[in-house]
Chain A
Amino acid sequence: MREQKNIFYNIDWITVCLFLALVLFGWMNIYAAVYNDEHKNIFDFSQSYGKQLIWIACAIILSLIIMMIDVKFFPAFSYFIFVLVLVLLVAVLIMGSATAGSKSWFQIGDFKLQPSEFAKFATNLAIAKYLSASNIKIQDIKTKLVTFLILGLPVLLIILQNDTGSALVYIAFVFVLYREGLSGNVLIIGFLVIVLFFLSLLINKFLVIGVIAGIALLLFVYIRKRRKEITMLVGLFILTAGFVFSVDYVYENVLEQHQKDRIDVLLGKATDLRGVGYNVNQSKIAIGSGGFLGKGFLEGTQTKFNFVPEQSTDFIFCTIGEEWGFTGSTIVIILYVWLFIRIIMMAERQRSSYGRIYGYGVASILFFHFLINIAMTIGLAPVIGIPLPFISYGGSSLWAFTILLFVFVKQDANRLLLL
């Protein structure tokens, strides 16, 4: 086996181009979101867009470094990196500085580092490493337990940081596990759980139960000959009913006030546009006012005058929607979907399970961010503060996503060299 000298050898240029397009378009919108007449210079490093320019430069350097590192490095050091990040997650709980209620940052001078962003990458390495081992079958209980442990450790630490949004991202691994053989029922059940949760909050619980009972009855008529399945059906019904009734308890006792508020806003139960509903309302106004072609670069009045909070980070999509309109939003969504599909295609062409699993992890993590972030800005999901990959302002997230992606690009470039 011969290592290629040229670091761009066999590289997937489509992925690289999609990555660059998103990063650059993201930077333009950060510039627009922060823009004001006094600070026009794009190299003004006191402004977010100036800083982001540095983060982007660093990210590109990072990607080049990754392309130069031996392709076997990351598979070999997967667990090591995972443990290292776990240590960082613990450390941040002790030494980190708190912003906006989350204790998830290391403050080093002017520079802030958020280990939880890197934890996704590290977890993905660990999962890929574990599941690609030759004797591992996902159907085994033991495998499931270990996988759950690998996922659970960072999730637990991140929840302790009070950063629920970032913890939720780990749900994305369901897609990876599904691809590797986890029962498809998991996806269906997951989907049903979400639907039932919101349904129970939105309409009368007995009505929900009634509908479920109706469905169960129809199924019963259909399968009445098979005793075993009837038992299962009854069990499922009891479980479902129990879940529906537990929703209230979860809502009242497990969720925190701001989480409840966000759910209320999504469901239209809270209409206080000055209070809890403010973000989402302003976000929708910004995007909605963009129209077909948008208001034009730097012409967005909503974002420019800070009507939308967090507009360069979590609500960056508002700026895109307002200034570039439906056209720009569509292009961004197409770029993302194309990137995800491309990564999955690349994952499928890997010769090693490690490469495939890792690739699926990349696609899943990115997709989950995309799903939650955009759904939140257009009022389809409750407000969950996670960034839009490659576009949102922030060094840690940009670097973490870049590393996540380029480790896979490197794997893919060298897929033929690996057995």
Chain B
Amino acid sequence: MKAPFNDRKYVINIIIFSIGAIFLCRLFYIQIIDNSYKLSANNNALRSITEFPARGLIYDRNGKLLVYNEATYDLMVIPQHVKDLDTAELCKLIGIDKEIFKSRMEKAKSYSYYAPSIFEREISKETYGFLQEKLYKLQGFYVQARTLRKYPLSIAAHTLGYIGEVSQGLIENDNYYKPGDYIGISGIEKSYENELRGKKGVKIMMFDVFNREKGSFRNGMYDTVSVAGIDLTTAIDADLQAYGEALMKNKRGSIVAIEPATGEILALVSSPSYDPNLLAGHDRSKNYIKLLQDIKQKPLYNRALMAQYPPGSTFKILNALAGQQLGVLKEDSRFPCSLGFHMGNINVKCHNHPSPCNLEQSIQYSCNSYYVYAFKAILEKSGYKKTSDAYNKWLDIVMSFGFGKKFYSDIPNELTGNIPTPEYYDKLHGKNRWHALTIYSLGIGQGEILVTPLQLANFTAILANRGYYFIPHIVKKIGKTKGINKKYTTKQTVKVDSKYFDIVIEGMDDVVESGTGTGAKIKKIEMAGKTGTAQNPHGEDHSIFILFAPLKNPKIAISVVVENGGWGATWAVPIASLMVEKYLNKKVDRVDLEKRMLEGSVKY
């Protein structure tokens, strides 16, 4: 039986096929061509939870803890998931007002609608307690554990440095960092960032429509485990550092103490300083701005590495060494001094002392006249026709002592100081138009020459070692086994023969025994020092003293600079001496002197 309208089955079949085909095309489009749905799906259900590793701890040389971590919590928000929020309650919980809430929400949204961003950082434990209870009501918010740097001894702020939120520029250049991450910004937090930070872990967790955690995505196939940061042992002696900071209280300047045999920095004091805890935690930015705005004190400024002073008389020692090396000074070389050096219109004053001095005495009495003559001899009698050639020879020796250049040590932000080049003088005076008496002040450590306290301390260590040094460094050991960079254990030899040091050191011994630095004398400890007075056109001169002890087998080399401290003997000598006593004897017997130094202050 054949029904009429038989061919209509074709029409109906065509309709069915067409619909099937339309569906397949549409599915092909949304499943294969358009990728946006895949992203949306991941944003919907998957969330990567960053596991922040504990940052490495930092110890002093005796195993005392300098920096550790304390748990803290960041309140995170995912704008997409925020629903039915009781704004007032949240504001009350974390103590912000509605305006701040709004602006933070806007900020979070402008960063990403789907990805988490920090809403409130470093919530206190108490607030966290309250928050934890209410969290179920705050859809779209969650708490992420973090660590906060703590400094139990509150010392060595400049050396340790601080951590802070990573900058936008760095995020773009280094894909390890994400907005809101912390990074070392200064000090060894910065220079050892890679060791300290450890490795962040990522856990991809699944969340259902109610923002409830539903376990790990694909059994953790894409997860990475966080690796804790490596602990650092520094060369710092916490007691000495703390003592140095106490001594420098109410004074401006710095103390740098180095173990000559290793180049390890025992203490690095820059004053005025600040409590490193101020730059960690909730109020960091507020405190930072406060410290930054203290233009008078400049507490953030690391004088030990960045302040540059004329070395004054301490530099005479270098000229004594250079002169011997260049063959123009002998032990018995004598130069006259009639209360100073007088030639033409050059008048360099000197104080009253027996004259003429030999080399040893010249250091003991810090004779200005002697070193103008000596410097003149270096430039005129060392066998070079041209002054600039002789100067270059001298410069070469000076630079070999670490002056005029950076050590590229493990504390960031050191400055080079300044040792003028012949080109500089060519420019200033005209080529070959300058000679010894044009630049005589270099002989006594004044003029264009600038050094940093770190360079001065290293210089002292070279003297203690009689001719070599190790690049001064803060970190002694990385982790439990890993040694430090080879460059810190490579001996750097200066361009003055070891034999020339003895006479100079004898002179420095005399300085302490019966010269300009007698205030440094400590019972039963033989030592060598040299005072210096850095001329300061802006006010009272800076007081400088370098010292190492004991004379045989030196354990500590130290430089002290007290800005506007006047004569070296006033502040720098006793402070250096107390530091040495503290370090070598572990206690200080000269209570009166100690008290005077601790309580004394320099007027600025």
- Look across to chain B and name the residue whose beta carbon is closest to the beta carbon of A294: B31
Complex interface bits, B178-219 against A, C-beta within 8 A gives 1, otherwise 0: 000000000000000000000000000011111000110110
* Chain A residues with a Cβ closer than 8 Å to the other chain, count: 53
What would be 17 A-B contacts, judged by CB atoms less than 8 Å apart? A181-B5, A282-B44, A285-B41, A289-B37, A301-B42, A302-B41, A305-B214, A306-B208, A307-B44, A321-B27, A326-B31, A329-B31, A330-B27, A344-B12, A367-B16, A380-B23, A380-B26
Q: Is the CB of B46 within 8 A of A301?
A: yes
Complex: how many Å from CA A333 to CA B34?
20
Considering the complex, which residues of chain B in the window 50-101 have a beta carbon less than 8 Å from any beta carbon of chain A?
A: 83
Q: Is the CB of B209 within 8 A of A337?
A: no
B343 CB–A CB distance under 8 Å:
no
Complex: how many Å from CA A408 to CA B455?
101
Complex interface bits, A219-245 against B, C-beta within 8 A gives 1, otherwise 0: 000000000000000000000000000
Which residue, of B5, B24, B30, B207, has the highest number of chain A Cβ atoms within 10 A? B30
B19 CB–A CB distance under 8 Å:
yes
Q: In the assembled complex, which residues on chain A have CB atoms less than 8 Å from the CB atom of B38?
A: 288-289, 291
* Cβ 8 A contact of A333, one of B20, B83, B214: B20
Q: Is the CB of A302 within 8 A of B27?
A: no
Q: Is the CB of A378 within 8 A of B9?
A: no
Q: Is the CB of A305 within 8 A of B208?
A: yes
Complex: how many Å from CA A341 to CA B215?
45
Complex: how many Å from CA A340 to CA B27?
20
Q: Is the CB of A356 within 8 A of B30?
A: no
Q: Is the CB of A340 within 8 A of B41?
A: no
- Look across to chain B and name the residue whose beta carbon is closest to the beta carbon of A327: B31
- Look across to chain B and name the residue whose beta carbon is closest to the beta carbon of A357: B3
Q: In the assembled complex, which residues on chain A have CB atoms less than 8 Å from the CB atom of B217?
A: 301
Q: Is the CB of A337 within 8 A of B16?
A: yes
Which residue, of B27, B45, B217, has the highest number of chain A Cβ atoms within 10 A? B27
A178 CB–B CB distance under 8 Å:
yes
Closest Cβ–Cβ distance, residue B140 to chain A (whole Å): 12
Q: Other CB < 8 Å A-B pairs besides A178-B12, A301-B44, A321-B27, 19 of them?
A: A285-B44, A286-B41, A288-B34, A289-B38, A289-B42, A291-B31, A291-B38, A301-B46, A306-B210, A322-B41, A326-B28, A337-B16, A353-B3, A363-B12, A370-B19, A371-B19, A375-B23, A379-B30, A380-B26
Q: Is the CB of A301 within 8 A of B209?
A: no
Complex: how many Å from CA A354 to CA B463?
118
Q: In the assembled complex, which residues on chain B have CB atoms less than 8 Å from the CB atom of A363?
A: 12
Q: Is the CB of B19 within 8 A of A179?
A: no
Q: Is the CB of A351 within 8 A of B1?
A: yes
Q: Is the CB of A325 within 8 A of B22?
A: no
B17 CB–A CB distance under 8 Å:
yes
* Cβ 8 A contact of B17, one of A179, A180, A337: A337
A292 CB–B CB distance under 8 Å:
yes
Instruction: Tell me whether A292 and B20 are in contact in the complex, defined as CB-CB below 8 angstroms, given that A184-B11, A286-B41, A306-B208 are known contacts.
Output: no
* Cβ 8 A contact of B37, one of A179, A284, A340: A284
Q: Is the CB of B44 within 8 A of A326?
A: no
Closest Cβ–Cβ distance, residue A189 to chain B (whole Å): 15
Interface of A is mostly: helix
A130 CB–B CB distance under 8 Å:
no
Instruction: Tell me whether A321 and B45 are in contact in the complex, defined as CB-CB below 8 angstroms, given that A179-B5, A180-B5, A344-B13 are known contacts.
Output: no
Q: Is the CB of B30 within 8 A of A284?
A: yes
A374 CB–B CB distance under 8 Å:
yes
- Look across to chain B and name the residue whose beta carbon is closest to the beta carbon of A288: B37
Counting from the closest, the 3 A-B pairs by CB-CB distance are A288-B37, A289-B41, A305-B208
Q: In the assembled complex, which residues on chain B have CB atoms less than 8 Å from the CB atom of A310?
A: none
* Cβ 8 A contact of B12, one of A179, A288, A321, A371: A179
Instruction: Tell me whether A175 and B20 are in contact in the complex, defined as CB-CB below 8 angstroms, given that A287-B27, A302-B41 are known contacts.
Output: no
* Cβ 8 A contact of B24, one of A180, A333, A344: A333
Q: Is the CB of B26 within 8 A of A378?
A: yes
* Chain B residues with a Cβ closer than 8 Å to the other chain, count: 44
Closest Cβ–Cβ distance, residue A239 to chain B (whole Å): 24
* Cβ 8 A contact of A344, one of B9, B41, B46: B9
B591 CB–A CB distance under 8 Å:
no
Q: Is the CB of A341 within 8 A of B16?
A: yes
A290 CB–B CB distance under 8 Å:
yes
Complex interface bits, A353-367 against B, C-beta within 8 A gives 1, otherwise 0: 100100010010001
A336 CB–B CB distance under 8 Å:
yes
* Cβ 8 A contact of A179, one of B8, B30, B83, B206: B8
Q: Is the CB of B20 within 8 A of A329?
A: no
Q: Is the CB of B22 within 8 A of A380?
A: yes
* Cβ 8 A contact of B209, one of A305, A330, A336: A305
* Cβ 8 A contact of B16, one of A37, A282, A340: A340
Q: In the assembled complex, which residues on chain B have CB atoms less than 8 Å from the CB atom of A325?
A: 31
Q: Is the CB of B12 within 8 A of A292?
A: no
Instruction: Tell me whether A374 and B23 are in contact in the complex, defined as CB-CB below 8 angstroms, given that A179-B9, A288-B31 are known contacts.
Output: yes
A348 CB–B CB distance under 8 Å:
yes
Complex: how many Å from CA A178 to CA B31?
35
Which residue, of B4, B8, B17, B215, has the highest number of chain A Cβ atoms within 10 A? B8
Closest Cβ–Cβ distance, residue A175 to chain B (whole Å): 6
Complex: how many Å from CA A288 to CA B27?
8
- Look across to chain B and name the residue whose beta carbon is closest to the beta carbon of A309: B209
Q: In the assembled complex, which residues on chain A have CB atoms less than 8 Å from the CB atom of B36?
A: 288
Which residue, of B3, B37, B215, has the highest number of chain A Cβ atoms within 10 A? B37
- Look across to chain B and name the residue whose beta carbon is closest to the beta carbon of A289: B41
- Look across to chain B and name the residue whose beta carbon is closest to the beta carbon of A299: B218
Closest Cβ–Cβ distance, residue A301 to chain B (whole Å): 4
Closest Cβ–Cβ distance, residue A1 to chain B (whole Å): 17
Which residue, of B11, B41, B44, B207, has the highest number of chain A Cβ atoms within 10 A? B41
Considering the complex, which residues of chain B in the window 222-239 have a beta carbon less than 8 Å from any beta carbon of chain A?
A: none
- Look across to chain A and name the residue whose beta carbon is closest to the beta carbon of B38: A289
B32 CB–A CB distance under 8 Å:
yes
B40 CB–A CB distance under 8 Å:
yes
- Look across to chain A and name the residue whose beta carbon is closest to the beta carbon of B35: A288
Considering the complex, which residues of chain A in the window 295-343 have a beta carbon less than 8 Å from any beta carbon of chain B?
A: 299, 301-302, 304-307, 321-322, 325-326, 329-330, 333-334, 336-337, 340-341
